[in-house]
Amino acid sequence: MACRSGCCCGFGPFNEDNARFLMLAVFIVLYLFCGAAVFSALEQPMEEEAKERWVQRFEQFSLKYNLSKKELDNFLRNYEEANVAGIRVDTIRPRWDFTGAFYFVGTVVSTIGFGMTTPATNGGKIFLIFYGLIGCAATILFFNLFLERVITVIALVLKSCHERRHLHKAVLPQNGGRRFYEGGGGGSRGEGLAGWKPSVYCVMLILGAAAILVSCCASAMYSAVEGWGYLDSLYYCFVAFSTIGFGDMVSSQRSAYGEGNENQTAYRLGNFLFILTGVCCIYSLFNVISIVIKQVLNWLLRSLERPCCCPGRVAHHPHHRQPRRNVVVPGHLRARRDLSIETDTVNESEADGRRMSGEMISMRDFLAANKVNLAIMQKQLSEMANGHPRQSGTSSRHNGFSEGVGALGIMNNRLAETSVDR
């Protein structure tokens, strides 16, 4: 019995992305269950203790001032409504003056959304929908451009260090004084470093160190100005920089700081710069970590794949392609092919190219087939001349990454473990 495509040959090249997606979905669900179990064990006892304390205080207050529980409940509900509008027990700065509104729109477009300020009018809510739609899209584009430039700078620095290290330790006397360069494949140093790209793990380490440095500096500032503990400040930095934005701790909300307006202005400026830099660093770090997670998924997929054991069928291996018998295929067979110049490859069926050695083809078929090959060659030469050679479709599947757009596309083009020409 013939073996159906993808039923016994592992995951195969066509449903490999679906398998990776399914594995990631299962991982996220298990991760959520584990996180829920840990937080429930850590936080639930504290919640129960706080609830018991509140019940005792409520009853004591009601008895002390001779208030009915119903009246006291109504008063607390009124305070909750005022709290939503921005009224607090402590004196805070105005929420909807220009500086407060600027802080609010900054949390909107950066997708932090602390929740300490929300629009209460219908006009404000409608305007927020359109304002956030454009602002969030533009900010995500800014984060991607920031990521691209950060990766480029890191790659240039690492490549310079790699070349310098090559110069110091790669030149060794061999075979009577002859010199060779390590890692050059027997060629010159320039040939060995022509396609060099930085490791994704090294980039992840650098971005992690930068994020930690920014968070530590920002935590020192928040701890000194806001009066928070240093651990609480680190917690706030992660929540804010990762755009989670719980809203339990929000910086720059007091009505006055320090000894004058100059100190208050300097603090608000520093707060803005730290949040902007921290969000960019954490966003870049998250994307690099996502690449590492995808590599782990690819490794799991390769370990789960098994060779095809169906009789009369050769197991498909993604790194090996069957050579074509003929460059030119007759017209009745060529009609069953899918010629695609965009992918720079020709998708053939199993019967393609299998003609008898003495079979003749027409001149029209010969010219048509070579016209396609000429168009492919012209496209490849044009891309190489512009400095952006395109990789073949099969090589992009070797590491399980598509070229993509956005952050994944940036990583694929600039890092060694994700590039198709690795």
Please check the confidence at residue 421 and state whether its pLDDT lies above 50. Answer: no
Percent of the chain past pLDDT 70, that is, above it, reads: 65
Q: What is the mean pLDDT of the chain?
A: 76
Please check the confidence at residue 94 and state whether its pLDDT lies above 80. Answer: yes
> Where in the sequence of the chain do the CATH 1.10.287.70 domains occur?
138-169+198-253+265-304
Confidence of residue 46 (pLDDT cuts 50, 70, 90): very high
Q: If residue 162 lies in a helix (H) or strand (E), which one and from where to where?
A: helix 122-169
> In terms of Cα–Cα distance, which of 157, 422, 147, 152 is closest to 295?
422
Of the spans 64-78, 166-180, 198-212, which averages the highest pLDDT? 198-212
DSSP string, 66-131: T--HHHHHHHHHHHHHHHHTT--SS-B--SSSHHHHHHHHHHHHTT---SSS---SHHHHHHHHHH
pLDDT for res 5: 46
Confidence of residue 397 (pLDDT cuts 50, 70, 90): very low
Distance (Å, whole) CA 250 – CA 248: 7
Q: What is the mean pLDDT of residues 188-212?
A: 80
Q: What is the mean pLDDT of residues 56-67?
A: 90
Please check the confidence at residue 342 and state whether its pLDDT lies above 60. Answer: no
Q: What is the mean pLDDT of residues 220-230?
A: 94
For 84-93, 102-111, 381-390, 412-421, which range has the lowest pLDDT when averaged over its residues?
381-390
Distance (Å, whole) CA 330 – CA 369: 9
For 27-31, 255-259, 354-358, which range has the lowest pLDDT when averaged over its residues?
354-358
Tell me the three state secondary structure of residue 268: helix
Q: What is the mean pLDDT of residues 180-194?
A: 49
Confidence of residue 415 (pLDDT cuts 50, 70, 90): confident
Asked if 137 and 130 count as a contact pair (C-beta separation under 8 A), the reply is no
Of the spans 156-160, 354-358, 388-392, which averages the highest pLDDT? 156-160
Distance (Å, whole) CA 297 – CA 319: 18
Q: What is the pLDDT of residues 317-332, one digit of tens each?
A: 544 444 444 444 444 4
Of the spans 128-132, 195-199, 306-310, which averages the highest pLDDT? 128-132
Instruction: Report CA Rg, the chain.
Output: 31
Confidence of residue 85 (pLDDT cuts 50, 70, 90): confident
Please check the confidence at residue 138 and state whether its pLDDT lies above 80. Answer: yes
Please check the confidence at residue 251 and state whether its pLDDT lies above 60. Answer: yes
Topology of the domain covering 138-169+198-253+265-304: Helix Hairpins (1.10.287)
pLDDT for res 345: 42
Please check the confidence at residue 347 and state whether its pLDDT lies above 50. Answer: no
Q: If residue 292 lies in a helix (H) or strand (E), which one and from where to where?
A: helix 261-304
Confidence of residue 120 (pLDDT cuts 50, 70, 90): confident
Confidence of residue 4 (pLDDT cuts 50, 70, 90): very low
Confidence of residue 183 (pLDDT cuts 50, 70, 90): very low
Distance (Å, whole) CA 195 – CA 358: 44
Q: What is the mean pLDDT of residues 62-79?
A: 88
Confidence of residue 234 (pLDDT cuts 50, 70, 90): very high
Q: What is the mean pLDDT of residues 55-67?
A: 90
Confidence of residue 374 (pLDDT cuts 50, 70, 90): low
Q: What is the mean pLDDT of residues 271-281?
A: 95
pTM over 0.85: no
Please check the confidence at residue 242 and state whether its pLDDT lies above 70. Answer: yes
For 5-19, 80-94, 270-284, which range has the lowest pLDDT when averaged over its residues?
5-19
